[in-house]
Amino acid sequence: MKRIGSAFGLHDLALEDVVNTDQRPKCDAYAAHAFVVMRMLDAQGRSEQLSVFFGDGFVLTFQERAGDNFDPVRKRIAKGAPRLHAGRSDYLAYALIDAVVDAYFPIFDGQTEKIDRLEEEIFEDVDAVQVPELHAMRREMLYLKRFVRPTRDALSALIRLERPWLSEETKIYLADVQDHCDQLIDLNDTYRDTAGGLVDLHMTLSAAQTNEVINLLTIISTIFIPLGFLAGLWGMNFNPEISEWNMPLTQSPIGYPVALGLMIAIAVGLLIYFKKRRWI
């Protein structure tokens, strides 16, 4: 690393940031080169630090592991893209930065699909979706926002940079990448708000479902309270032979059908009453 730094005149502080891979996206300007730190995401959303140096006639990139987002740039070079073959280091640096930012969009599209899926599942069966899953999605959006917002700020600093090896034409292209970052930030805010809305929706539907269960149990209890009272009343051991008022119908051949019919009539009457009051 020191030999590379000496060969290209890279600043020691920038080289330290290359080795310490927990840096926030940023842009540091030095006399002979610019140093840009970004977070590069793979298809699974895992991030790694990408360090880009560029100056007069050179572009250097350092990353943590094999694999990158630069296939679109390689294809353009293979097809003979004039701007990339013109030999300007600032445009090549822009192309690499643009490829990294463009790779964020599929990750955000995946979040869109996840939100749509969770919303459908909540309406189909609220119990199929757990609140921790919704909170996990909100954390993912916050995780992505931590990369995009400082990347936009880094691009803003790079655009303001005045160096002979950074052309005004390239700054126009960098401003377009900055616009992409603004789009991603807006998408992120929208998705986080939507995820928060899904949490509220889940809680509302869960509460409504719980209320339905409580309402059903209350109705059942209300129906059985008078039935239990009648059953308990007729179950008292008062001897009907002593007085005709002691437990009427207990010695009658129609006593049981009458008692059962009375219970059924009370239950049906309560159900009709609840229906008229729109409680069921």
**Domains in the chain, start-ordered, CATH in brackets?**
2-209 (1.20.58.340), 210-276 (1.20.58)
pLDDT in the model for residue 197: 84
What is the share, in percent, of the chain residues with pLDDT greater than 90?
38
Per-residue model confidence as pLDDT tens digits over 202-253: 888 888 888 888 888 888 888 888 888 888 777 766 666 666 666 666 666 7
Top-confidence residue, 91 or 251: 91
Please compute the mean of the pLDDT values over residues 140-154 and round it to a whole number: 89
pLDDT of residue 271: 85
Give the pLDDT confidence score for residue 163 in this predicted structure: 94
Q: For residue range 21-42, what is the model confidence (pLDDT) as tens digits?
A: 999 999 999 999 999 999 999 8
**Phi and psi at residue 254, in whole multiples of 5°?**
-105, 10
pLDDT at 126: 73
